[in-house]
Structure 1
């Protein structure tokens, strides 16, 4: 079976509270983007995880795809499988690529072996693997809160808008990103702001990680400014970095504008 785990962007990201368990409560809108990895799962004599494309740190046993298989196999009588992940989505880039890989592993195993696991139970499994993982089970726009693993539907459609994602290759860990933020309640409800036209978002829909990370990595600030300079109606950093994205009304090819960086562009759904 071949599946294509996709990335997501954060439209707004407010760090509202530090929890007693050491995590942070956030508010954000997660929106799917068609920048994808490719994951092939086939029955094998022994379990094996392999990857190609972008080099993934650690050994295969640490990969979230492997952990997802082991999690499902602990409750169901699964045969050994070979997992081959072709990695395209940059790592440590605020795009949720690893979380998506894990969630798509759960969904693919459920389909491949006709396990009939309910959506609710798939979401429960995904939450055990990481905060962002649960989003990719339903994989549709959602208002996210708590650790980023609680969701509610949001009536936001950017269908037909053109998006350009620019990744300069800076790896930013979650620990580094969170070390520079001060949690505080939001001044305005993100859900209400996102009901307004996208042209009003620029100074209202913010990513709280930007203030510290832009001062540390000035290149990120420069990329965001350039996205606005070339006509983006809204631009932001996604997640805890380092990918910047711009949303445009019309198709805009920016590969020549950012020749030294990874650029993905396409229509939003």
Structure 2
């Protein structure tokens, strides 16, 4: 195998994000549901036999040493001498958006090079490598929508109803570290349980409850983000003016809202200049699910 092309790296939305405490080492304890969506970056990997790692940016210019190259270097420690790779990246998911784009790229890179180099490392080993790169990487490696706890390492797959969402990214981004270090961040939301989330789509359909999973909880990071970045409020209000109930995903600055089921009600107004707006569907599973055992 000399090359693998068209490898998707999907973004995620946090249906809610609760901060339930903080560890002595400073890491925050969270609860969230991570949901995969069809807004994707695309990676291509080609084998190099000189042991070098290189990256080519096909769309947006990325930092010189990003999570993709860091993931490749971490995995290369398990490869045979002389095995390298050239990685081409078509970046579409915006940065500093709370959508996990960089972590998803790293996960897709690990899955792809594990196959390109014939390493056959199990998913558990890849997840161990991924956690050192970022707390969200193991989720993308796991390949399923999930209830996430701890600092992001406790992952329980959940089933979600199919739905469409309006996702809005204003021009401004947000630094996650600024939000988590804020003195006014809520850090004591009561612990929830999966049964309270009620993520079984079959039972929802059977009881005609609609999709209450998409209204569960809140995002504890949102008030701080709105203070630091007024554009988050602008995006929420823009969707609200169209009858959509919006909240922020992750640490922002992107916000999202569930779209109506009727196609004729799904048209959005023209967005302000510089905003990225997409209608996205959630994914049942990651497109590369099963690439590691």
So what's the TM-score if we normalise by structure 1? 0.89
Matches within 5 A, 1:85-234: 85-155=89-159, 157-159=160-162, 161-180=163-182, 181-186=185-190, 188-189=192-193, 192-195=196-199, 197=209, 200=212, 204-232=216-244, 234=245
Quote the Cα distance in structure 1 between the aligned partners of 2:273 and 2:211.
Answer: 28
Identify which of 56, 62, 69 aligns with 2:62: 56
Which residue in the other structure is 1:72 paired with?
75
Identify which of 250, 254, 262 aligns with 2:268: 254
Secondary structure of 2:133's counterpart equals: coil
Secondary structure of 1:4's counterpart equals: strand
Identify which of 5, 25, 32 aligns with 1:21: 25
1:10–1:31 Cα contact (<8 Å) kept: yes
- Could you report, residue by residue, the CA deviation over 1:172-209 in whole angstroms, capped at 9, with x for unpaired residues? 11111112313103264465135475665687520001
Taking a change above 3 Å as real, the CA distance of residues 236 and 113 of structure 1, as seen in their structure-2 partners, is same
Quote the Cα distance in structure 1 between the aligned partners of 2:210 and 2:28.
Answer: 27
| Match status 1:243 vs 2:254 | yes
Taking a change above 3 Å as real, the CA distance of residues 73 and 202 of structure 1, as seen in their structure-2 partners, is closer
Total equivalences in the alignment: 263
Stretches of structure 2 that go unaligned for 5 or more consecutive residues are 284-293
Quote the Cα distance in structure 1 between the aligned partners of 2:97 and 2:134.
Answer: 16
So what's the TM-score if we normalise by structure 2? 0.82
Taking a change above 3 Å as real, the CA distance of residues 198 and 258 of structure 1, as seen in their structure-2 partners, is farther
1:253 to partner: Cα distance: 3.3
Taking a change above 3 Å as real, the CA distance of residues 187 and 71 of structure 1, as seen in their structure-2 partners, is closer
Quote the Cα distance in structure 2 between the aligned partners of 1:71 and 1:187.
Answer: 35
Quote the Cα distance in structure 2 between the aligned partners of 1:198 and 1:177.
Answer: 33
Quote the Cα distance in structure 2 between the aligned partners of 1:211 and 1:198.
Answer: 28
Q: In angstroms, what is the RMSD of aligned CA positions?
A: 2.2
1:64–1:101 Cα contact (<8 Å) kept: yes
Secondary structure of 2:97's counterpart equals: coil
2:271–2:277 Cα contact (<8 Å) kept: no
Stretches of structure 1 that go unaligned for 5 or more consecutive residues are none
Quote the Cα distance in structure 2 between the aligned partners of 1:255 and 1:4.
Answer: 29
Which residue in the other structure is 2:279 paired with?
265
